[in-house]
């Protein structure tokens, strides 16, 4: 029985689909191409892939509608959007709807494979930790101890305010995934909090200062301009 991870590629441009499938096959994945949305959904239910690469601009239906259907299913299959739509609003909408990542055409093989590896690792961690509450997160030399409400960098304890700690914990839980501004705001300040992106930016600036982050070469937190933040994986 093959132990290859199965990736469903829903992309109507055959040149791009062939390029992706060749790259996946060469790197020990099993690629299943689909050129239309309805066929892609059929392939999804037939093969139960480990990950879906989804184009938004399909000829028979909007990729957002496919994403919505996949996110409503009980099983959690990671989805990476591949699209020529580079507008921030499109990225934010897809990520808020449950997409795990977003890669804009044109892209290289190395970037695509890196995004796939990161997304699959995160999905594997989530499956393994279901029903298990983690108390400690380790990102490089950053340690976030939830039980003790403690943050260590290189063994040195650093004080964070309650909201700064909540943001840091949220980023650690979803390490590798882009978290939109609205997602962070809702999880930290609540759905009815009178907040704006500005208060989040102020808190993130304080977090970076305390972590001694170099904005031009971040060690822990990457800024996705106009979208949100991503905790880098170790």
Q: Choose the final residue of a domain: 97, 129, 161.
A: 129
Please tell me the predicted confidence (pLDDT) of residue 217.
83
Full domain range(s) for residue 116? 5-129
Pick left, alpha or beta for residue 222 (phi over 0 → left; psi -120 to 50 → alpha; otherwise beta). Answer: beta
Band (pLDDT 50/70/90 cuts) for residue 19 is very high
Q: Are residues 148 and 185 in the same domain?
A: yes
Render pLDDT for 125-183 as a digit per residue (tens, 0 to 9): 877 665 455 788 888 899 999 989 999 998 899 999 999 999 999 999 888 889 999 99
Count of structural domains within the chain: 2
Q: What is the pTM of this model?
A: 0.80
CATH of the domain at 182: 1.10.10.10
Q: Are residues 45 and 73 in the same domain?
A: yes
What sign results for the dihedral spanned by CA atoms 228, 70, 110, 122? positive
Name the β-bridge partners of 143: 138, 152
Q: Are residues 24 and 123 in the same domain?
A: yes
Q: Choose the final residue of a domain: 94, 129, 164.
A: 129
Average pLDDT over residues 112-123: 92
Q: How far apart are CA 53 and CA 212, in angstroms?
A: 36
Q: Are residues 149 and 187 in the same domain?
A: yes
Q: Are residues 12 and 93 in the same domain?
A: yes
């Amino acid at each position: 029985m093959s132990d290859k991870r199965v990736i469903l590629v829903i992309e109507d441009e055959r040149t791009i689909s062939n390029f992706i499938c060749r790259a996946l096959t060469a790197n020990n994945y099993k690629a299943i191409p689909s050129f239309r949305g309805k066929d892609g959904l059929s392939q999804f239910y037939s093969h139960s892939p480990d990950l879906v690469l989804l184009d938004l601009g399909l000829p028979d239906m909007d990729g957002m509608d496919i994403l919505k259907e996949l996110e409503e299913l009980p099983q959690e299959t990671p989805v990476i959007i591949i699209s020529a739509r580079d507008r921030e609003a499109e990225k934010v909408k897809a990520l808020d709807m449950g997409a795990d990542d977003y890669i804009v055409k044109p892209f290289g093989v190395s970037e695509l494979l890196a995004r796939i590896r990161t997304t699959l690792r995160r999905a594997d961690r989530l499956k393994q930790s279901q029903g298990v509450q983690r108390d400690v997160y380790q990102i490089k030399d950053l340690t976030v101890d939830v039980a003790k409400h403690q943050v260590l960098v290189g063994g040195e304890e650093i004080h964070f305010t309650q909201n700064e700690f909540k943001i840091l914990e949220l980023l650690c839980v979803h390490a590798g995934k882009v978290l939109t501004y609205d997602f962070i705001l809702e999880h930290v300040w609540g759905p009815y909090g009178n907040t704006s992106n500005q208060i989040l930016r102020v808190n993130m600036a304080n977090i970076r200062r305390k972590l001694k982050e170099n904005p031009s070469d971040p060690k822990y937190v990457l800024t996705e301009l106009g979208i949100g933040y991503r905790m880098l994986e170790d």
